[in-house]
Chain A
């Protein structure tokens, strides 16, 4: 855990709600990573078999989350689904972060012609509703996990670029930057060494908050039939397909919905925790209460 400073854990321990968020995210990550190896009914999870005699079984010891219209175990489907939701969330946010940070950094520091061009480009992407843009991209690129990630990332990065741009602007007139210029360091060095580390915090904290939204957006794409193709049990698909059975077999849509809800709350709590931890002023205010 060398990546995470030790006092972050101290900080967490004092705040049970944030601890819960942290545990949820860790659990989600672990389950998502090892999902294919812990399935008890892999055929059900991957949707390669079906058995109508077992259709619509309510939750029981054998089927804790019940079974769906094809007689497949919902728990296994949800577990496998976590893998796709995890991959999508991490990749979408990660990819957007990389693009957004670079664009925001360059545009913010260089300003001038390049900066204007980059920011107008960002504005262009911002002008479209993200979901609409993602749907348009998905229909051009075809469907699949990769294209879902691409489509969402393409509509996602401008937000980080904007945030980064504002952040860079507030940092670039700081005295240490002026000092670096006077010493004669190259623009690249100044950006990489002085601007980037000091303007990254707001963007990174925001990205933690966005993990949950990314899962929801991917679900929305699945719901519109342009996300991950069937029969892969992506959470959004499980929820949308179960919806028509809700009066007859609530569990088909309820459990995936519940798991999605818990995960999103977990990411939001962790995002809040990181934000608070990174912002000492906020931390002291909260601690004093």
Chain B
């Protein structure tokens, strides 16, 4: 009896185990339900900084324009404005009074309607705090809420307020109820900044900030009440925009590449440029390239022999293998520079390239009195650790060797590089001969390039120690005319660049091309990128398939 029951028990156990196994197998292998939400993960190279829309002037620009809105949007490549919170605007004939008409269906994430009072309060908070990029609002004298949906800006002097109010910094509009949310006395109370930096948002944009972990992850979720989702034909909204947009901090380009290939991220901010070509050929990925206003320049020490001779500088300018540099240094992801103003920017001209011509270079060198090359080693400094600058330096070194010019490449930390260059104003012989570095704009005007690097009064960054009064006068006049007579200003900028082309205090080497690589299911990626908003992907524009 006992024996039988034992056998039955054993059999029962075996059957039970098999049954459990089958049931669990069925459950395990059952296909997972399709995701109800479209989730897109974007890898960022940098950690996020702060979350206060009034003062943030750094990496958080990556997500701020998704959560907050400005009155207008501006695309510097096309020169087009797109309505944001304002549907329309007018400007007085003297350019001093700007009137903006707000849309009536916009609400903040806390449910408060977006009104002229909110605009006034937001802009005034930024001006009062005076931090970050608040200086761009310097021309604003006062803001007036005429009625709930009309706001007037009075300026101290004429300025392109439409461009200013479309900046990616300092001009975001937020709910005036933040003071209440933060338990603060008023908007400028430090408690408000604290409240923002805890990961709270008070914007009106297409996404809400739902997770704020600036060192590893930021999660944004669709704000269904955003006016843009409902407006037919609005160019900055897509019906297939992601429901959840995750920003993951992945600090290494190779890791981003691996994660993209493994499907762990959908969009990479930065993969090694050398891999972009392969991604371009793979139908599973899309590559979007856009001009960037960052360029790499070579500055000559115009006060130290032999580079104090313009002919020597011209010779070198003609002995730099620009095309090869772009090919090797940036894997083709750059454009040979024409002048010192990057391609795509107003004030850029296409006829300021130096032809790579060693025969001409030798001729110029002979004319300068160096028929057999220069019997002196030129010191070229670049920022250590920057592989693009390093490769560029190596090619310049190789190419100038053919002219009989020996170049010593010296990688230095930026602080050392700059400190060495600063000596040049006092004692040009103590400074480097050749200086490689990047420039990118603080204001979207040619003046940032021309003044900083070449004006005789710009001691910090005029590291060619170039002094030319005619040039100085031209650019300052051009800048003053930019708002009033842009055609005349453009002509003066052109003439100033002609002087630079002839004197060669420095040469533009290449204008950087920005690129993003994403999985091919992500459409509209090109429209989601705006060179004025570095690193940001305007997720509301994305068309996510499948």
Contacts and interface: CB of A to CB of B under 8 A. Distances in A.
Q: Do A and B bind each other?
A: yes
Interface of A: 47-50, 52, 55, 69-70, 139, 142-143, 224-226, 229-231, 241, 243-245, 247-248
Interface in B88-116: none
B384 A225 contact: yes
Given A52-B327, A244-B272, A244-B274, A224 B385 contact: yes
A49 B412 CA distance: 23
B395 A50 contact: yes
Q: Which residue, A139, A225, A226, has most C-beta atoms of chain B within 10 A?
A: A225
A70 B385 contact: no
B272 A229 contact: no
Majority secondary structure, A binding face: loop
B409 A69 contact: no
A33 B102 CA distance: 77
Nearest to B390: A230
B384 A226 contact: yes
Q: Which residue, B254, B272, B394, has most C-beta atoms of chain A within 10 A?
A: B394
A197 to B, nearest CB: 44
Contacts of A229: 408-411
A231 B278 contact: no
A8 B324 CA distance: 55
Contacts of B328: 50, 52, 55, 69-70
Contacts of B416: 139, 142
Given A52-B328, A247-B278, A248-B278, A230 B409 contact: yes
Given A229-B411, A230-B409, A49 B394 contact: no
A135 B395 CA distance: 26
A141 B61 CA distance: 38
A50 B409 CA distance: 16
A200 B385 CA distance: 40
Contacts of A243: 254
A55 B274 CA distance: 13
B394 A47 contact: yes
Nearest to B384: A225
Nearest to A139: B413
Contacts of B397: 47-48, 231
Contacts of B254: 243-244
A120 B278 CA distance: 56
B401 interface: yes
Contacts of A69: 328, 391
A143 B327 contact: no
Contacts of B128: none
Interface in B372-393: 384-385, 387, 390-391, 393
B398 interface: yes
Top 9 A-B pairs, shortest CB-CB distance: A225-B384, A225-B385, A244-B272, A48-B401, A231-B394, A244-B274, A50-B398, A230-B409, A229-B409
Nearest to A69: B328
Contacts of A226: 384, 411
A228 to B, nearest CB: 10
Majority secondary structure, B binding face: helix
Nearest to B274: A244
16 contacts: A47-B394, A48-B401, A49-B398, A49-B401, A49-B402, A50-B394, A50-B395, A50-B398, A52-B327, A52-B328, A139-B416, A225-B384, A225-B390, A226-B384, A226-B411, A248-B274
Contacts of B272: 244
A262 to B, nearest CB: 25
B275 interface: yes
Nearest to A247: B275
Nearest to B393: A230
A139 B410 CA distance: 12
Contacts of B324: 50, 52
B141 to A, nearest CB: 48
A70 B413 contact: no
Q: Which residue, A47, A48, A52, has most C-beta atoms of chain B within 10 A?
A: A48
Contacts of A47: 394, 397-398
A230 B411 contact: yes
A173 to B, nearest CB: 50
Contacts of A49: 398, 401-402
A156 to B, nearest CB: 22
A143 B411 CA distance: 7
Contacts of A247: 275, 278
A143 B390 CA distance: 14
Given A244-B275, A245-B274, 5 more contacts: A52-B328, A142-B410, A229-B409, A230-B394, A230-B411
Given A52-B327, A226-B384, A229-B411, A70 B394 contact: yes
A231 B413 CA distance: 18
A225 B391 CA distance: 13
Nearest to B323: A52
Nearest to B391: A69
A224 B402 CA distance: 30
A49 B395 CA distance: 8
Contacts of B387: 241, 244
Contacts of B274: 244-245, 248
Interface in B266-281: 272, 274-275, 278
B411 A225 contact: yes
A244 B401 CA distance: 27
Contacts of B412: 142-143
Contacts of A230: 390, 393-394, 409, 411
B273 to A, nearest CB: 8
A241 B410 CA distance: 17
B431 to A, nearest CB: 15
Nearest to A245: B274
Given A224-B385, A225-B384, A143 B410 contact: yes
Contacts of A139: 413, 416
B395 A70 contact: yes
Contacts of A143: 384, 410-412
Nearest to B261: A247
Interface in B256-292: 272, 274-275, 278
Contacts of B413: 139
A248 B281 CA distance: 13
Nearest to A223: B385
A14 to B, nearest CB: 46
Contacts of B411: 143, 225-226, 229-230
Interface in B408-467: 408-413, 416
A88 B263 CA distance: 43
Contacts of B278: 247-248
Contacts of B395: 50, 70
B516 to A, nearest CB: 18
